[in-house]
Amino acid sequence: MTTATATAVDTTHNALTTGRLPRWAPWGLLLGSWFVFVIVFSIVAAASEAEFNIAAALFLGTVLFDILIFVVAYLVEGARQARDRLVTSLVATAFIIALLPLVSLLFTVLANGLPRFDIAFFSQSMRNVVGEGGGGLHAIVGTLLITGAATLISVPIGLLTAIYLVEYGRGNLARSITFFVDVMTGIPSIVAGLFAFAFFSLVLDDPGIRFGLGGSVALSLLMIPVVVRSSEEMLKLVPNELREASYALGVPKWLTILKIVIPTSIAGITTGVTLAISRVIGETAPLLLIAGFTASMNYNLFDEKMMSLPVFVYTQYANPGSDVQPYLDRAWAGALTLIVIVMVLNLVARLIARIFSPKLGR
């Protein structure tokens, strides 16, 4: 009888008067569950002499935490609060799950890439190299040339289009450009490579065509939409008062854009372009198709196959010699170089945005 009344009272709990878990409880539970699984895994690893898998331990520990927090909160705080806490922990778990591959990837690339991240890698090509030695100089030069040419193509077209969309564009043409630029951001990179190949092999009438500039065209197809979108956003941020002040002084529209609008937004535009470069510099598939691969240096964008860093990584992995390890080492070193380039570009972009953005007087 007493238990029945007790439960009856229990179900009519007021959420405001129920017990609350102390603030440290979730953190304590999380650390506790991680600790439990790290212990379990290290015991297993010690027993079977297998490698200690920290990622799996943290992952299972987080899952254990999700279950524990639900049960504990259900007992102390009631069903609604328990569900709230469960979702909170699940959402945090999702974030941790996404972090695990990132950390693991950066760690392996660093660990495997550093042994060959040496002077020889940056001063030698793969010409006449079998087995150990050699480097990725030809690939680095190729990547810089191809990406540079792609930037030269994309930035004028992308920036002018953005200006058109923001300053001039009204009506159907502007609307269709906006729509198709958005759709273009989703073109698979390999399709861009196929297009460059189909185009140049028909126009230049060479069924097996491979050359660097084709790769630049393919990359600009991927880069233009990114440049347009980011520049558009930046141009829209320029306050209309600046334009109106300029018009009021009798400055023509094109000079207003050149002297007022673009200088005001140049930091943002540069940031966008840098991010666009960092996006296409790692593209492999289109360059594999149209720029090809080679072991020699090639400084000429208009003729002959040209190696690039991502394709270098791929070919070192995919076509190793009889002794696989040196090829894999070079592939990892190439991957590390690529990641360093991309990270530096990202960092530079953020720095530009922070340092050169116009200071508003507030």
Partner 1 sequence: MTTAPASPRAKARLGDRIFTGSTVTAGVIILVALAAVAIFLIAQSIPALMADPADLKGSPSSFWEYVAPLAFGTVWAAFLALLMALPISIGIALFISHYAPRRVAQTLGYIIDLLAAVPSVVFGLWGIKVLAPAVTPLYGWLVDNVGWFPLFSPPVSGTGRTVLTVAIVLAVMIIPIITAVTREVFLQTPRLHEEAALALGATRWEMIQMAVLPFGRPGMISAAMLGLGRALGETMVVAMVLSPALLITFVLTSSSNSPTIAGNIALNFPEAHGLDVNVLIATGLILFAITFVINSIARVVINRRKAFSGAN
Nearest of 337, 308, 285 to residue 126 by alpha carbon:
308
User: Is 105 a residue that touches partner 1 (CB under 8 A)?
Assistant: yes
Angle at 92 between CA 89 and CA 93, to 5 degrees: 85
Show the site string, 289-318: x = touches partner 1 by CB under 8 A, - = not: x--xx----------------x--xx--xx
- Residue of the chain from 34, 65, 121, 332 that contacts partner 1 (CB under 8 A): 332
- Rule CB under 8 A: say whether 102 interacts with partner 1: yes
Which residues in the 230-269 window bind partner 1 by CB under 8 A? 252-255, 257-258
Measured CA to CA, the distance from residue 29 to residue 72 in angstroms comes to 10
Interatomic CA distance for residues 25 and 32, integer angstroms: 10
Side chain identity at residue 309, one-letter code: L
* Contact present, 267 and 356 (Cβ < 8 Å): yes
Shortest distance, position 165 Cβ to partner 1, whole Å: 7
Site for partner 1 contains 84 (CB under 8 A):
yes
Beta-carbon neighbour count of residue 168 at 10 Å? 11
Window 15-74: residues binding partner 1 (CB under 8 A): 15, 53
Binder of partner 1 out of 38, 45, 144, 174 (CB under 8 A): 174
Q: Minimum distance from CB of 184 to partner 1 (Å)?
A: 6
148 binds partner 1 (CB under 8 A): no
Binder among 31, 39, 97, 152 for partner 1 (CB under 8 A): 97
Q: Which amino acid is at 163?
A: I
Burial class (CB in 10 A: 0-12, 13-18, 19+), 135: buried
Site membership for partner 1, residue 160 (CB under 8 A): yes
Judged by CB under 8 A, the residue of 21, 201, 357, 358 near partner 1 is: 201
Residue 279 as a binder of partner 1 (CB under 8 A): the answer is yes
Cα 360 to Cα 265: distance, rounded to the nearest angstrom: 12
Q: With CB under 8 A, what is the number of residues at the site for partner 1?
A: 98
The yes or no reply on residue 108 touching partner 1 (CB under 8 A) is: yes
- Residue environment code for 318-347, b if the CB has 16+ CB neighbours within 10 A, otherwise e: eebeeeeebbebbbbbbbbbbbebbeebee
Give the residue from 123, 108, 151 showing the smallest Cα distance to 339: 108
Kindly tell me which of 127 and 253 has the beta carbon lying closer to partner 1.
Answer: 253
**338 touching partner 1, by CB under 8 A:** yes
Contact flag: residue 190 with partner 1 (CB under 8 A): yes
Minimum CB separation of residue 6 from partner 1 in Å reads: 25
